[in-house]
Amino acid sequence: MTDSFTKPAKIKPKHDAFNHQNYRPFAFAPRLPDRTWADKTITQAPIWASVDLRDGNQALIDPMTIEQKMQFFKLLVDMGFKEIEIGFPSAAQVEFDFARKLIEENHIPDDVTIQVLVQAREHLIKRTVEALDGVHRAIVHVYNSTSVVQRTKVYGKSKDEIKAIAVNGAKMVQDYAKQYPDTEWVFQYSPESFSQTETDFAIEVCDAVNDVWQPASGQGVIINLPATVEASMPNIFADQVEYFCRHVKDREHIIISLHTHNDRGCAIAAAELGVLAGADRIEGTLLGNGERTGNMDIMVMAMNLYSQGVDPELDFSDMNRMVQVVSECNNLPLHPRHPYVGELVFTAFSGSHQAAIKKSLDYNEQHADETQNIWDVAYLPINPTDIGRSYQDVVRINSQSGKGGVAYILQRDYGFNLPRWMQIDFSRVVQNEAENKARELQNDEILQTFMDTYLKQDRFELADYSVSNKSGEVQFTGEVKMDEDVIQIAGTGNGPLSSFIDGMAQHTGKSLSITNYSEHAIAPEQAERLDYGQMIDADLQDKTGANAVAYIQLNVDGTIYSGIGTASSTVSAMLGGALSALAQSI
């Protein structure tokens, strides 16, 4: 610490109960100085297993009905999940009935395996296997608690007694499965609270289970390592996983699965690092519903892979349907900042962010051959259209917004491509409007403000005019309505606009000069979205539907004013823009 830096004084808690000394550092990290996961990258998707219908369902205030579970199951199948945990058949009749409905009504595709959970107790295992009668392939997931706190404070059992529960459970699953030889059985074991279990003891228990199941002889086996309560940093969990993978017997014959929870907010990071550490399979839920702070969000982890160019092997192209089904079945709202799917995640209110997005999109459009369709846009990790969202969601305007966002909306929705100096001028108007309303401005409100500021001034109106070129000098003659009067304007210059400005300067006695000028055409399809009847005299519109827009910046007696004109011709548009700017000055 340098002399120039003084550490702030400690804050005294408002009550004595808030005391960090009541806690101790995580104590179950294995020693792994030669870890290898830190030098790896994920290059392919893991095996995904949805536990929405069991782990997610048990955490709901109102558990799903059979009809809701069926709707959710069909969503998971449509998205491409091949392993789906459907429930806990021995825990409730509705869970048993749902398993029977799936099997008896042939709702399970041939390439999908259902999974069920059961504690290592005989009557529960018997009931569970009965629920699966007739299924073509199933995973029976048996578990028991192995952590120190569970052994000592919940069950009061020794390590040997805990291991015996696991071994007996494995034997019972094996024995009852033999009664249904037409089903292809896969056995899964979880040392519950693996992350809070001594890693060597977790390996000892899992080896004992595998001694029963004999995966090397061809029996399908999944060993699932749960962070039932997330209690450490994700790098420590990765060390636990790599250590386990190095030391467990028959590693080449078993699938290592992870099941992380989000108590520390790191469930996704722990799962990703766990895959680097050697895991093959990930259990989680869509949108992260689960006990306490939730399960690992499969959608986010899969989309993280997608954003890095890795095929997630799940289909999230219709993200809106997924959100609707999951939210309705779980009866839980979606946070507007939820990664990838929240209402505001592709939204930029910040002015600098909006400008960067607009410039990136413009660059990509102008350099399509160079970019080769590779997505690289400031502040947008993925293209919103990939998941069924649109650019309508990207830029929204409030008092914190800047010129780029306003310009983006006017260009995208209404065809006005504002030059930078006009963006600066109008952004001040929009900011004042948003501050006055103390809320976000809708797109139609932005357009209305734009029109009211520049296009609906009624002080001046160009009635009739002619432009001629004599001896290289452009002459303007015409009539301008000023309030209730009609005045005659005549001026000379090097073009229609400069000659018009000369005539207006002579009439008003003001010092007028053009400081900036820009113009473009609005495509017919964009013009149709606007009420041009309010903006352009119907008699001036040509039959093609094409419309010109001109942006004019005038120096009026030393002060800068901006204006916009729209018409069927460029000349009429630029003259209208000059009148619009002049109207701002009076």
Per-residue pLDDT reduced to its tens digit, 357-389: 878 888 888 888 887 889 999 988 999 889 987
Mark whether 235 and 283 lie in a shared domain: yes
What is the pLDDT, as a whole number, of residue 537? 39
Residue whose token pair is 């205030």: 61
State the average pLDDT over residues 436-462. Answer: 79
What is the pLDDT, as a whole number, of residue 525? 58
Digit-coded pLDDT (tens) for 119-175: 999 999 999 999 999 999 999 999 999 999 999 999 999 999 999 999 999 999 999
CATH number at residue 580: 3.30.160.270
Mark whether 426 and 488 lie in a shared domain: no
Mark whether 226 and 83 lie in a shared domain: yes
Is the predicted pLDDT of residue 400 greater than 60, yes or no? no
State the average pLDDT over residues 512-520. Answer: 84
CATH number at residue 108: 3.20.20.70
State the average pLDDT over residues 323-333. Answer: 90
What is the pLDDT, as a whole number, of residue 494? 83
- Residue 527 covered by a domain: yes
Task: Provide the edge-to-edge strand list for the sheet that holds 473-482.
Answer: 460-470, 473-482, 485-493
Task: Give the mean pLDDT of the chain.
Answer: 88
Boundary of a domain, candidates 330, 365, 386:
330
What is the pLDDT, as a whole number, of residue 45? 98
- Residue 507 covered by a domain: yes
Choice between 129 and 452, residue whose per-residue pLDDT is larger:
129
Choice between 533 and 153, residue whose per-residue pLDDT is larger:
153
Q: Sign of torsion, CA 127 132 134 137?
A: negative
What is the pLDDT, as a whole number, of residue 523? 66
Contact 166, 144 (CB under 8 A): yes
Mark whether 450 and 488 lie in a shared domain: no
Mark whether 403 and 523 lie in a shared domain: no
The dihedrals phi and psi of 232, each to the nearest 5 degrees, come to -145, 170
For 113, 172, 188, the CA distances from 218, given in Å and listed in that order, are: 18, 18, 14
What is the pLDDT, as a whole number, of residue 399? 42
Digit-coded pLDDT (tens) for 203-243: 999 999 999 999 999 999 999 999 999 999 999 999 999 99
- Residue 11 covered by a domain: no
Instruction: Provide the 10 A C-beta neighbour count for residue 302.
Output: 26
Boundary of a domain, candidates 424, 454, 484:
454
- Residue 83 covered by a domain: yes
Mark whether 129 and 188 lie in a shared domain: yes
Instruction: Provide the 10 A C-beta neighbour count for residue 540.
Output: 15
Residue whose token pair is 């309303």: 437
Choice between 393 and 369, residue whose per-residue pLDDT is larger:
369
Contact 81, 48 (CB under 8 A): yes
- Residue 255 covered by a domain: yes
For 19, 445, 567, the CA distances from 535, given in Å and listed in that order, are: 67, 16, 8
Instruction: Label residue 546 by pLDDT band (50, 70, 90).
Output: very low
Digit-coded pLDDT (tens) for 339-354: 998 877 877 666 677 7
Mark whether 381 and 415 lie in a shared domain: yes
For 112, 203, 208, the CA distances from 70, given in Å and listed in that order, are: 15, 37, 37
Mark whether 416 and 400 lie in a shared domain: yes
Is the predicted pLDDT of residue 540 greater than 60, yes or no? no
Give the integer Cα–Cα distance in Å for 563 and 341: 40
State the average pLDDT over residues 287-298. Answer: 96
Mark whether 432 and 463 lie in a shared domain: no
Mark whether 89 and 142 lie in a shared domain: yes
Contact 148, 198 (CB under 8 A): yes
- Residue 474 covered by a domain: yes
Give the integer Cα–Cα distance in Å for 150 and 154: 5
- Residue 346 covered by a domain: no
Is the predicted pLDDT of residue 542 greater than 70, yes or no? no
Instruction: Label residue 536 by pLDDT band (50, 70, 90).
Output: very low
Give the integer Cα–Cα distance in Å for 114 and 84: 5
| Run of H or E residues at 157 | none
Boundary of a domain, candidates 401, 436, 454:
454
- Residue 568 covered by a domain: yes
Instruction: Label residue 538 by pLDDT band (50, 70, 90).
Output: very low
Is the predicted pLDDT of residue 402 greater than 60, yes or no? no
What is the pLDDT, as a whole number, of residue 463? 80
- Residues of the chain above pLDDT 90, percent: 54
What dihedral do alpha carbons 352, 358, 361, 363 form, nearest 10°?
Answer: -90
CA nearest neighbour of 113 among 81, 70, 141, 78: 81
Is the predicted pLDDT of residue 257 greater than 60, yes or no? yes
Q: Which residues pair with 548 in a beta bridge?
A: 521, 567
Structural domains in the chain (count): 3
Mark whether 309 and 375 lie in a shared domain: no
What is the pLDDT, as a whole number, of residue 529? 54
Give the integer Cα–Cα distance in Å for 396 and 405: 7
Mark whether 101 and 83 lie in a shared domain: yes
- Residues of the chain above pLDDT 70, percent: 91
* Domain of 70, in residue numbers: 49-330
Instruction: Label residue 285 by pLDDT band (50, 70, 90).
Output: very high
What is the pLDDT, as a whole number, of residue 432? 82
Q: What residues contact residue 561 under an 8 Å CB cut-off, 6+ apart?
A: 553, 554, 581, 582, 584, 585
